Amino acid sequence: MKKTHIIILIFIAVAIAVLISFMGDLTTYDTVASARQKEGKFVHLIAKLDKSQPVEYDPIANPNYMRFVAIDTLGHSTPVIYHNAKPTDFEKSERLVLKGSMKAGTFECDEMLMKCPSKYKDDVEANKNNLSSN
């Protein structure tokens, strides 16, 4: 066997090992109930802001702390703590992807994606509304 082939085989083996370890790192999208079952495990929680509950964020006291209640499509809700600044338009968001884990009944969120209509995309429907208003 040629040494090039041996090296290729080694590389392929390394690549496969790397990919398997990547698969192990993958996480899941979850609901409140399934995230509760996986207490302490990192998940992507898909939910929306429960607008009937207050959003606690007081940047003067602490700009790195906000607390709100998220509710998923099945109607389960959980308090969420997010150690960062409140994103702009948080109250107007339609959907939240919360990355973090459930700890003692509270979802500790590390990172949050908001579905507003994304800032980088045109919202054709919103533009159409502009057409009919005025």
Binding footprint of other proteins on the chain (CB under 8 A): 2-4, 7-8, 11, 14-15, 18-19, 22, 25-30, 42-44, 57-65, 83-86, 88-89, 91-92, 97, 99, 108, 110, 113, 115-124, 126-134
Task: Give 52 or 61: the residue with its C-beta nearer to other proteins.
Answer: 61
CB of 99 to other proteins, least distance (A): 7
CB of 78 to other proteins, least distance (A): 18
Task: Give 57 or 71: the residue with its C-beta nearer to other proteins.
Answer: 57
**Phi/psi of residue 130, nearest 5 degrees:** -60, -35
CB of 77 to other proteins, least distance (A): 20
Reduced to 3 states (helix: H, G, I; strand: E, B; else coil), residue 20 is helix
- With CA atoms as reference, report the closest residue to 63 among 81, 90, 85, 91: 85
- Give, as one character, the DSSP assignment of residue 43: E
How far is CA 31 from each of CA 39, 48, 54, 73, 77, rounded to the nearest angstrom? 12, 11, 21, 8, 9
